[in-house]
Amino acid sequence: MKQLYYLRERSRHLHAIGIALLVVMLVACSDMNDLHQEYLDRGEVIYAAKADSVAPHSGKNRVEFEVFVKSQRITIARFFWNDYRDSSDLVIEGQGIFKKMLDNLEERRYIFKLVCLDEFGNRSLPVELSANVYGEQYQAQLVNRSVGSTSIDALGKITIHWGGAVDGAVAIEVRYTDIAGNSKLQSFPSDLPTSVIADLKPDMGYEYRTVYKPDSTGIDSFFTDYSPSTLLTFDKIDWDIIDFSSEHGGAENSVKNFIDGTFKTRWHSLAGSSSYPHHATIDMGVVRTITQFGVWITTFDSPPDGDHRAPDKIKFLVSMDNITWTDLGEFDFNRFLLGEQTFVTPPSTQGRYFRFVGVSGPENNMVIGEVSAYGF
């Protein structure tokens, strides 16, 4: 009897536990249904098609998007930025490439979200895009490319020798007046070492600026201010020495070295039987307006600081016909100074010929490096 009673009590307890577990499971299932009921009530979510491709193009306080759409159901492409606080719509009509410009943007990097809407009001999943917008801060750090020198030949053709290339530059624009008196603008690739202008009006200079594009696919260019041209260097390819006082024997001492384009060669007057003054007369091949001369001591076969047997005083004269000469005055010359020493001429100095004169120096003979002339 006791064993039968025990079995009955055990069965009753197991039955109670089973009922309790069933209640717990029913409650849990009810809670899970509650969590999903909101989504079940909505039914199936239908998304609109996304744009097939989107390309942002940076600009000056603006950005342009090119949106390529193949789905005919898309009617609106909506752009969001500033964490969805700002938005703008692009109307889509059929298939193709559509453009959207966003203006009046602050200069910074932006994260955009693009959502497409179809004719039924369905929305696509967002597409994230990034783009830089440029402005005054970018503009302020731009520098104009430097000009090393500008040479002009007897025909009026100028060759601009540019300084080092600058990062981000895409072109150099040169503005000048041509032979006919018209204002012209020429654009040259920014990586060229030299640029040539063949129709510059005589006695005129030019001005130039550098063009930048911060993004290769950008829609806007940025420009530096115009800078005036440097002095034009008269191209010595047209020059000829038609008269000189003396030269020492050997090609390394020839007077021709005085106009060969480098101070590393020398003109050495005749040693032993020549004395000051020493001179050389140069035919430039065409009448020039001369604004200044440049003279160098030589470093040929000399200590690192140059050959000091140059003159202490020099003189320049100019002539239109190699007969009548105008004396431009006497100048002090530092024979211990390496590099170019420049000597400004009086206003409106013109001539086809000029004469360099070494007036006095430390020895009877003279050793000199190079001479140049500048102007228009």
Q: How far is residue 53's CA from residue 29's CA, in Å, rounded to a whole number?
A: 45
- Please give the average per-residue pLDDT across 238-260, as a whole number: 98
pLDDT tens-digit readout, 121-149? 999 999 999 999 999 999 999 999 999 99
What local confidence, expressed as pLDDT, does residue 126 receive? 96
**Of all helices (H) and strands (E), which one includes residue 358?**
strand 350-360
* Residue 210, token pair as written in the block: 């550098």
Whether residue 102 lies inside any domain: the answer is yes
Mean pLDDT for the chain overall:
90
Q: How far is residue 266's CA from residue 12's CA, in Å, rounded to a whole number?
A: 126
Give the pLDDT band of residue 220 (cuts 50, 70, 90): very high
Q: How far is residue 98's CA from residue 69's CA, in Å, rounded to a whole number?
A: 8
Of 137, 157, 188, the residue at which a domain comes to its end is 137
Q: 151 with 95, same domain?
A: no
* Residue 317, token pair as written in the block: 């004269």
Q: Is the pLDDT of residue 335 over 80?
A: yes
**If you ran DSSP here, which 8-state letter would residue 62 be given?**
-
Q: How far is residue 220's CA from residue 218's CA, in Å, rounded to a whole number?
A: 6
Give the pLDDT band of residue 254 (cuts 50, 70, 90): very high
Of 198, 213, 230, the residue at which a domain comes to its end is 230
Residue-range definition of the domain harbouring residue 263: 236-375
What local confidence, expressed as pLDDT, does residue 39 receive? 39
Please tell me whether the overall predicted TM-score, pTM, comes out greater than 0.85 for this model.
no
pLDDT tens-digit readout, 291-320? 999 999 999 998 889 999 999 999 999 999
Whether residue 44 lies inside any domain: the answer is no
Number of domains into which the chain is organized: 3
What local confidence, expressed as pLDDT, does residue 225 receive? 97
What local confidence, expressed as pLDDT, does residue 303 receive? 87
Domain of 181, CATH number, reads 2.60.40.10
Q: How far is residue 178's CA from residue 157's CA, in Å, rounded to a whole number?
A: 11
**Of all helices (H) and strands (E), which one includes residue 97?**
strand 96-102
Q: 198 with 322, same domain?
A: no
Side chain identity at 63, as an amino acid letter?
A: V
197 in Cβ contact with 206 (< 8 Å): yes
**Of all helices (H) and strands (E), which one includes residue 18?**
helix 2-42
Of 137, 160, 178, the residue at which a domain comes to its end is 137
Residue 24's Cβ-count burial label (10 Å; 0-12, 13-18, 19+) is: exposed
